[in-house]
Amino acid sequence: MKNWSGKSVLVAGGAGFIGRHLVTTLLEAGATVHVVDNYATGEEASMKALCARFVSHLTTQTDDISENHVLPPTDVIFNLASPASPRHYQADPIGTWKSNVLGAFHLLDHAQNCGASFVQASTSEVYGDPLHHPQVETDWGNVNPVGPRACYDESKRAAETLLMDAWRTGQSDIRIARIFNTYGTGMTAGDGRAIPNFMSQAKAGQPLTIYGDGSQTRSLCYVSDTVDALMRMGLMDAAKGEVINVGNPVEMTILQIAETVNAHFGSRSKIVFEPRPVDDPTRRCPDIGKAKRLLGWSPIVSFAEGLTRMAEDVRQPTEVERVVLP
Ligand SMILES: NC(=O)c1ccc[n+]([C@@H]2O[C@H](COP(=O)([O-])OP(=O)(O)OC[C@H]3O[C@@H](n4cnc5c(N)ncnc54)[C@H](O)[C@@H]3O)[C@@H](O)[C@H]2O)c1
């Protein structure tokens, strides 16, 4: 997408895994990019390497970030400011609530003050342990509101409610992306997500750890595909007021994923099984009919290609990714 030239863009959470890829691609497309990030799970040094403009700030801070001129006027806001790995969001559940609910409030204020379009990075976790398969945007979800994952699932749902109310009352131009599992270069080995875990274990010749019996499924989208969808949502009028699944509909069991990673890295590591986390979803697969229809988008990077890109990145790290890879 080349037509970002002249656009001023704010990426909240821009120092995180998806954020760094989004910021890089926006800069390449000619946008002026501002990043707000408290570096809770993000990489400050990587951001400096990107030469975007930075505001080190919590989106949850109670002062009005717009009126106090903490943030510059922008045309498009991407709100990615939330921990995404269960290990991170469960370590500080109240902070996760604040990031997702107060953070959305403050950024919405800013969007209203400067008339910006607002792209919210929501999540497939709003479907909880889904009752319908594959997951369609009209599904209401099946979430345990008091379980250990609820701080993330329910606060993302609350943010969706807030933003859709702002859209319905004509106060803001809102676009909601429900992102399914995304992987790619620049993920940190210790952040608890399956792909970096399996990769680091396979490369070290250690057993690959599966939580549960491995029959639960996931659909994995390569990060450049996710970023492409987010950028289309930021520019295209067809996304206004819409909730759109962003994910790769190729569904695999966790066991298949572990075996594929092992084979891809020529590893003979054993696979070991640990107890399955509470409320871990059984199946995950997006229906992406709406993304195809409204955005003309569908993912193009296969799982094998994605793993190859990650392996090459380890051998030859880029300026942005050098900091985070082990
Ligand atoms: N990666 C995925 O598979 C996935 C799937 C679904 C949804 N998402 C969503 O996409 C977004 C980005 O995910 P990611 O994988 O890049 O996560 P990440 O943890 O790598 O990045 C999140 C970034 O937000 C920053 N941040 C968190 N709270 C903040 C706050 N209150 N103020 C300012 N900065 C804050 C962190 O420091 C970090 O840089 C998240 O909102 C996440 O919920 C990601």
**Annotated active-site residue in 152, 183, 211, 222:** 152
What distance in angstroms lies between residue 270's CA and the mean position of ligand 1's atoms? Answer: 31
Assigned architecture for domain 8-186+220-248+285-300: 3-Layer(aba) Sandwich (3.40)
Is 222 known to be catalytic? no
Distance from the Cα of residue 314 to its chain's centroid: 21
Predicted pLDDT of residue 323: 24
DSSP 111-176: HHHHT-EEEEEEEGGGGBS-SSSSB-TT---B--TTSTTHHHHHHHHHHHHHHHHHHHTTS-EEEE
Pairing of strands 217-219, 251-253: antiparallel
Predicted pLDDT of residue 165: 98
| pTM given for the model | 0.94
Q: Around 9, how many Cα atoms within 13 Å sit in the side-chain half-sphere?
A: 30
Q: How far apart are the first and last CA of the chain?
A: 31
Tokens coding 161: 């409610």
What distance in angstroms lies between residue 264's CA and the mean position of ligand 1's atoms? Answer: 28
Q: For every one of its 326 residues, what pLDDT tens digit does the chain have, with 9 covering 90 and above? A: 568 999 999 999 999 999 999 999 999 999 999 998 888 887 777 776 676 677 666 667 655 565 566 788 899 999 999 999 999 999 999 999 999 999 999 999 999 999 999 999 999 999 999 999 999 999 999 999 999 999 999 999 999 999 999 999 999 999 999 999 999 999 987 778 999 999 989 988 999 999 999 999 999 999 999 999 999 999 999 999 999 999 999 999 999 999 999 999 899 999 999 999 999 999 999 999 999 999 999 999 999 999 999 887 644 333 333 222 11
E strand segments, the chain: 8-12, 32-37, 53-56, 76-79, 117-123, 173-179, 182-183, 208-211, 217-219, 221-222, 243-246, 251-253, 271-274
Pocket of ligand 1 (CB under 6 A): 12-13, 15-19, 36-42, 58-60, 80-84, 88, 99, 103, 121, 123, 179, 181-182
What distance in angstroms lies between residue 13's CA and the mean position of ligand 1's atoms? Answer: 6
The phi, psi pair for 32, rounded to 5°, reads -90, 125
